Amino acid sequence: MLARLPIHGSSNLTAAYTSFSALCYIYLEVLVKTFRLLLFLAAACAIAFAGDQYPNAALLTSNPIYKKNCAACHGKSAVGRHFNHAPSLLSEKTAAASPDDLRTIILKGKGEMPKFSGKISAAELDALIQQIKTANQK
Ligand code: HEC
C-alpha cells in the first residue's frame, strides 16, 4: 500500500500536468484565433474604408484586363500591396497623373513595374487609363 502511493501520486501529477498543458494549449489557440480575427477585421475595415473613399473604383477592379494583368501587384481593390512595393492606384499621386503619364508608365514600365507595351491592346490600355482616372474621382 505504502509502496504504491508514490506511483499513485505521480500518475495524479501527470494527469494534472496533462490537463494543465491541454488548458494552456486551448488558451493559446483562442489567443491565436482572436488575433487572426482582429487582423482580418482590420484588413476588412481598411478595404471598406478605401472603397468608401473611392466609390468609382469598381469599374477598374472588375475589368478582366485589370484582374489578369494588374491585380497581382496592385491588389484586387487597387489599394496596392506592400510586399511587392506596388503602390495604391487610388491615391493623390495617381489622381495627379495625367492620362499621358499613366499611358507612359503602363506602356514602358517604371522601376519594378513591368512594361505592358505589346501585352495589352490599344483599346484595353485606353479603358484602363479611363478607369484609373474615374476611380480617382471621389
Ligand atoms: C509586377 C508588379 C506590377 C504589375 C503586374 C503592375 N504594376 Fe503597376 N506598378 C508596380 C510598381 C512597383 C509601381 C511603382 C513604380 C515606381 O514608381 O517605381 C507601379 C506603378 C504603377 C502606376 C503609377 C502609380 C503612381 O501613382 O505613381 C500605375 C498607374 C500603374 N502601376 C498601373 C498598372 C496597371 C494598369 C497594371 C496592369 C496593366 C500594372 N500597373 C501592373 C508594379 C506592378
Residue type at position 89: L
| 8 A C-beta contact, residue 71 and residue 59 | no
Task: Give per-residue pLDDT as tens, 43-92.
Answer: 665 656 655 689 999 999 999 999 999 999 999 999 998 778 899 999 99
Q: Is 78 in the pocket of ligand 1 (CB under 6 A)?
A: no
Q: Which of 105, 132, 134 to mutate to test the pocket of ligand 1 (most atoms within 8 A of CB)?
A: 105
Whole-model pTM: value is 0.73
List the grid coordinates of 44. Answer: 476588412
Q: Work out the percent of the chain whose per-residue pLDDT is above 70.
A: 80
For residue 69, the model assigns a pLDDT of: 98
Q: Is 59 in the pocket of ligand 1 (CB under 6 A)?
A: no
76 vs 16, higher pLDDT: 76
Name the residue at shortest CA distance from atom 26 of ligand 1. Answer: 94
Distance, CA 60 to ligand 1 centroid (Å)? 14
For residue 104, the model assigns a pLDDT of: 98
Task: Give per-residue pLDDT as tens, 104-115.
Answer: 999 999 999 999
Q: CATH homologous superfamily for 58-135?
A: Cytochrome c-like domain (1.10.760.10)
Name the residue at shortest CA distance from atom 6 of ligand 1. Answer: 70
For 80, residues 6+ apart whose C-beta sits below 8 A from its C-beta are 74, 86, 87, 88, 89
